[in-house]
Amino acid sequence: MQDEIIMYTDGGSRGNPGPSGIGVYIKTLDKKFGEYIGEKTNNEAEYEALIFGLKKLKSIIGKAKSKQTEIKCFLDSELIVKQLNHKYKLKEKRIQRYFIEIWNLALDFKKVSYSHIPREENKIADGMVNEALDAREKQGKLL
């Protein structure tokens, strides 16, 4: 196990707000996750994807190893990255709650960094979002 883990996250909604999903690709461990998360805004889904990813990483590598591991998070949401890197203020209460949860989760690791990437470089996490939403849509049509 390396002391550095690369993780890509994405969240999206069909409508804003609307049915939403999250996608997480932990490149270093070659693990992918996608999940339907209910009715959310795009920004909420982006934050929830990152929260899910950090929690999942800690559960996979364990508490002791987490403290020795640097996590590099890549997101295609420039807004979220700028908020997490203290470039933009957080005015909405619900977004402030996400920020605080991520801040607390980051304390479980040696270091967590957040970088913005173009959407084209986040295809795997984006694909997981769409798979989760497509599966939910299909399930809804069967009910």
| pTM > 0.75 | yes
pLDDT at 7: 98
CATH fold of 4-134: Nucleotidyltransferase; domain 5 (3.30.420)
Gap between the Cα atoms of 106 and 83, Å rounded:
15
* pLDDT tens digits along 1-20: 459 999 999 999 999 999 99
DSSP line for the chain: --SEEEEEEEEEESSSSEEEEEEEEEGGGTEEEEEEEEEE-HHHHHHHHHHHHHHHHHHHH-HHHHTT-EEEEEES-HHHHHHHTTSS---SHHHHHHHHHHHHHHTTSSEEEEEE--GGGGHHHHHHHHHHHHHHHHHHHH-
Q: Which of the four pLDDT bands, split at 50, 70 and 90, describes residue 142?
A: low
Q: Rounded mean pLDDT of 68-96? A: 96
The 10 Å Cβ neighbour count of residue 111 is 10
* pLDDT tens digits along 18-41: 999 999 999 999 999 999 999 999
